[in-house]
Amino acid sequence: MSMSSPISYKKKVEFSETDMAGIAHFTNFFRWMEAAEAELFESLGAPLIESSNGTTSGWPRVRVSAEFHAPVHFRDEIEVELTVKQVKIRAVEYAFRIFRLGGHEPLHVATASMTTVFARRNAETGAIESAEISPALTEALERLAK
């Protein structure tokens, strides 16, 4: 399933994100994916990280993959499109398409996916355990997956 209008994150590739040839290092694609995820959560009014009563909750990544089709360079403008692929009881799967802008048409430069699990860290024990996503957030994410 894909949502009708994916979350979009745009930015210019910074000098610090490139190698000596001016090509963006592959690890930055994962940072840009996380920035798109932050945009998604902000649009839903939901926190990505939350601390309450000594317990911290967040979204550790459990699976990430990417396929690169073309490079992006210093000062290229890129767009990351995030689609909510599937919402589970304790996890969310995303699909990403990354484009280089500025030509006649956007150039599809990468395809990626990420699975993230909702988890809580107990302040007393330090244990991190997966937890059920709240019904309200599950509902909001599921609306986007249709």
pLDDT digits (tens, 9 = 90+) for 6-28: 899 999 999 999 999 999 999 99
DSSP 16-46: GGB-TTSBBPTHHHHHHHHHHHHHHHHHHT-
The CATH code that applies to domain 7-144 is 3.10.129.10
Assign 5 a pLDDT band (cuts: 50, 70, 90). low
Instruction: Check pLDDT > 50 for residue 1.
Output: no
pTM of this structure: 0.91
Instruction: Check pLDDT > 60 for residue 100.
Output: yes
φ and ψ at residue 92, rounded to 5 degrees: -130, 135
Q: Would you state the pLDDT for residue 113?
A: 98
Instruction: Check pLDDT > 60 for residue 4.
Output: no
Instruction: Check pLDDT > 80 for residue 72.
Output: yes
Q: What are 103-146's pLDDT values in tens digits?
A: 899 999 999 999 999 999 988 888 999 999 999 999 999 999 86
Share of the chain above pLDDT 90, in %: 84
Q: Would you state the pLDDT for residue 53?
A: 80
Cα–Cα distance measured from residue 8 to residue 18, given in angstroms and rounded to the nearest whole number: 22
β pairing state of 119-122 and 107-117 = unpaired
Give domain limits for the chain. Answer: 7-144
Could you tell me the two tokens for 6?
């994916």
Cα–Cα distance measured from residue 85 to residue 56, given in angstroms and rounded to the nearest whole number: 26
Instruction: Check pLDDT > 50 for residue 3.
Output: no
